[in-house]
Amino acid sequence: MILNKLGVITDEVSADLIEALDWTVEQGLKHVEIRMVDGFNVIRLNDNQIRRIRSEVEKRGLFVSAVASPLFKCALDPARPVANGDRFGQEDEDVAAHFEKLPRMLQITKMLNTKRIRIFSFWREKEPKSHETDIVCHLRRAADMAHKASIQLLLENEPSCNGGYAEEVGRMLRHVNSPALKALWDPGNEQFGSNPFPQGYGQIKDFLGHIHLKDAKTQADGQTRCVPIDSGSVPYADQFNALLSDGYDGLYTIETHYIPEGGTPMQGTAMTLQGLRNLLKRENLESN
């Protein structure tokens, strides 16, 4: 069942961990991803803070499905102009600094009793494909480190990064060819510049390790913005049916990225969750 494998990134609900966890339980969700806690990126937390997170999660009957890190949201070469995006409280640092952080992130992941870390493919170059040799080299190095620690890295399709779309992420994963590096598929992110389904999904389905759920729609001003699931343009009914048909048995995490005007992240996530439930009921997918 999709609903039985559904969770949420806590700071998409509230910056306050306890408030987010209590809401997660009230909504009947099963797991959480950890990204920002009480205003701090997870990489900046000490051991006592990490132990507290695990304790608060587990005493509510939840589990940590992944650490939604910002690793490798950085420039391959700071001298070149590149895209930029949300670093979720992490400073702008170079590739070497991110590799220095990776061992601590591996440690944090184990302390949270999970085996998954979300990573990225460096800020997007003007011509990403021309830098793929360097990107793949770095990703392979990271995957080797993760493999030795029995941790799985999840490479997300993120438009501000070189692996912005499924075609690019799929190609990178083929080149790296490591069991420690899988795809974190976000159909909503694909909507910002490509076709999520069937084209995008077809490029990435053989590498799936995890799935994020958000929706998006191009507005009257020509800008694509996040909206609650089932009110955007991502064909989630077809996407879910394909995932079930293809035997995907992993987890799903709501990453709303939507706040209603004058509202709160919690309200936006509640709207997305309700939209998802409505869609699953309408498509007779509640029990799948």
80-130 pLDDT, tens digit per residue, is: 999 888 777 788 899 999 999 999 999 999 999 999 999 999 999 999 999
Domains observed in the chain: 3-282 (3.20.20.150)
Phi, then psi, of 266 in degrees rounded to 5: -60, -40
The letter for the amino acid at 176 is V
Q: Which residues of the chain have pLDDT under 50?
A: none
Cis preceding linkage at 78, omega within 30: no
The whole-angstrom separation of Cα 143 and Cα 146 is: 5
Pick from 196, 129, 126, 121: nearest CA to 163? 121
Give pLDDT, residue 183. Answer: 98
Pick from 132, 136, 149, 138: nearest CA to 98? 138
Buried b (16+ CB within 10 A) or exposed e, 41-77: bbbebeeeebeebbebbeeeebbbbbbbbbbbbbbbe
Task: Return the half-sphere exposure (C-beta side, CA atoms, 13 A cut-off) of residue 100.
Answer: 5
Give pLDDT, residue 287. Answer: 75
Give pLDDT, residue 156. Answer: 98
The whole-angstrom separation of Cα 131 and Cα 135 is: 6
